Chains A and B, each alone.
Chain A
């Protein structure tokens, strides 16, 4: 039903809120502005955590998919988790790109730069967008989960190769290393703590949201299952001449025509 015990989830929710507020305070006031980049550097406290989460979320999707495929651990739970995590992953990847773009604009005056990490993140975004699009196509409940899991792993295997090839590509070009705001910012003291606070806050957020999204997915599945039971009853009722499937009231009494076992 849920990944976390409800009380744990509530506590987690509050912790997340508190840590996000703390992050906002430290990020916007507590930490000093960067010597080189000024206040714009504060975007790092968002950008780095969201990037970390994007990768974490997709890793969880891959792990859950693998667990689904492994016969001993096969359970619908993993399919739901894979989907929920992928949605969060796409969300955080999008945020990473957005914040990164703002940061680049603020510091370097460009909305986009062909930095290896940004490019890899962009490709990652589309990889998982495709995976989500595939999840949304109609499929049989059982074989569909297996297909989703296989697809997730096929896509996941590509991530390190994309990362490596993009990295290699950009290091061949002179201007590649210019745009790397994280490197040019000195991380120390309060700034380092704030960064870790950011990572923590967003990780808590991820777990909290994953639990909620998972719960939603479970409810959706239960709704489908109820719908299925009603559909089966209506289907059987067709034999009695009761009209059209789609009526959810059961027929009066069990079937009376003989069902023989040959």
Chain B
């Protein structure tokens, strides 16, 4: 079967499991909202700071939630040796990468929309360009999903996976954090035109790590 067809198979499988177990909705999303609340406690809503820092806080919440979603994506493979079954099936590593990344991206997208509504409601923001927000969101999510899947497999199956994944992933996605936040600032009460260069950066990052993933994931997936 072709790589894309196999990727679709893997993605569908992951999403079906999510639809049935609802871990992203029932656990990861509340976690994200709690993070937003924590920020509000820390920054005191009355001082009028929240709207200004909303883009940054939003993306920090998304990144922390992404860590959980990525961990979960690989945890289901560890249980009952599903990972071994998948390796034996002969599906190409690149297909597993694309499929898992796609499923993670889909879940993150849902999370972002809901968290975004949360931010809009809790922090009170001013939308100047939906297009910028959507474009930046998509590009950032693709980059997060690609790197998350790559580093997720590195950390998966290790005893220290919960602490290793953040340490590995978070520094790497610095450009995503910077780009997404700046783009969101421009789309939420700023000048939308300033957001586009950042969106281009996000797109380049996503493209690069999708390519890296297609090339490298297979060997990482096989080794332990």
Contacts and interface: CB of A to CB of B under 8 A. Distances in A.
B167 A143 contact: no
15 contacts: A123-B174, A126-B171, A127-B172, A130-B167, A130-B171, A133-B160, A133-B167, A134-B164, A137-B158, A137-B159, A143-B222, A147-B220, A150-B220, A165-B174, A165-B175
A127 B171 contact: yes
Interface of A: 123, 126-127, 129-131, 133-134, 137-140, 143-144, 146-147, 150-151, 153-155, 157-158, 161-162, 164-166, 168-169, 172
Contacts of A155: 172
B43 interface: no
Interface of B: 150-151, 154, 158-160, 164, 167-168, 170-172, 174-175, 178-179, 182, 201, 204-205, 208, 212, 216, 219-220, 222-224
Given A151-B154, A154-B212, A155-B172, A133 B164 contact: yes
Interface of A is mostly: helix
Contacts of B174: 123, 158, 162, 165-166
Contacts of A143: 222-224
Interface of B is mostly: helix
B182 A169 contact: yes
B219 A150 contact: yes
Contacts of B222: 143
B223 A134 contact: no
B171 A139 contact: no
B214 to A, nearest CB: 12
Contacts of B158: 137-138
A123, A126, A151, A154: which has the most chain B beta carbons within 10 Å?
A: A154
A8 to B, nearest CB: 36
Contact of B216 (A123, A139, A154): A154
Given A130-B167, A151-B154, A158 B219 contact: no
A123 B177 CA distance: 12
A161 B167 contact: no
Contacts of B220: 147, 150-151
A95 to B, nearest CB: 19
Nearest to B208: A157
B168 A134 contact: yes
A232 to B, nearest CB: 21
Contacts of A140: 223-224
A7 B179 CA distance: 51
A247 B208 CA distance: 51
A210 to B, nearest CB: 24
